[in-house]
Amino acid sequence: MTADDEQRSAPSALQPGVVLRGVVESVFPTGAFVDLGEVHGLLSTANMSWRPFSSSEEIVHVGQELSVMVLGVGELTGEVTLSLKDLQDDPLRAHARDSFMEPVVGRVVKLGGLGAFIRVREDFEGLLPTAGFGGVQLEVGDEVTVVAVEINVHTRRVLFTRAD
């Protein structure tokens, strides 16, 4: 065992907020296991990335070395939970701070009963309610200029209105 391995597996290294290096040992639909030395941690899909994705393999792959933040250690199970996302800037907070109420061009990524989901950045999207279509029929793939009129960073919801 190297000094780096000893440091990675030491109890103090497993405190919430500590950043460690690890290697992805397996990937599955709901997450991945990361080898941290003498312990293994669970990286769930909810803690992989801010951007929307459909498969864990879009974010991590077996053998990949990465830095992860320890979120916690289960008192009874000893399960170590990890996050990649907490080491990245939250794009929704950045948009709320820098571009709230500013027109941005987005693309329709999904249509539903409530309206159209518009992706304005690779890492987040929001809802343009049907009433806000302005009489125009939108389809998946259409570009539309929108303004965020409501952003809730806690629930991760963005409400748009058309700007054009």
Task: Supply the pTM of this predicted model.
Answer: 0.73
Q: How large is the greatest C-alpha to C-alpha distance in the chain, in angstroms? A: 67
pLDDT bracket for residue 144 (50, 70, 90): very high
Q: Does the pLDDT at position 134 exceed 90? A: no
Q: Does the pLDDT at position 155 exceed 50? A: yes
Instruction: Quote the pLDDT of residue 8.
Output: 45
Instruction: Quote the pLDDT of residue 9.
Output: 47
Considering 10-14, 76-80, 98-102, 126-130, the range whose residues carry the highest mean pLDDT is: 126-130
Length of the chain as a residue count = 164
Quick one: what percent of the chain has pLDDT higher than 70?
A: 92
